[in-house]
Amino acid sequence: MHVEPDPERMLALALGYIDKAREALKLKKYEPGKFGTEKVLMDMAARREIEKSNKTHSGL
């Protein structure tokens, strides 16, 4: 077991362990922005506003 008092070095070591495990499992290397997107929580008023602006033209 490795004990590291420096938080920055601890993070670097942890990410290194994760990358080695990904490689051993033949998983794709992590690339920020490629694997997921940030989700934004909205209340109903915000949802209704988006729905109102997305309505298609109903015709004549």
Is the pLDDT confidence value at 59 over 70?
A: no
Please name the residue that has the structure tokens 């934004």. 40
Cα separation of 10 and 29, whole Å? 20
Q: Is the pTM of this model over 0.95?
A: no
Please name the residue that has the structure tokens 């915000």. 46
Q: Tokens in use for 13?
A: 């070591």
Residues in the chain: 60
- Tens of pLDDT, residue by residue over 15-52, are 999 999 999 999 888 777 776 666 778 889 988 888 88
Domain ranges of the chain: 7-54
Is the pLDDT confidence value at 14 over 80?
A: yes
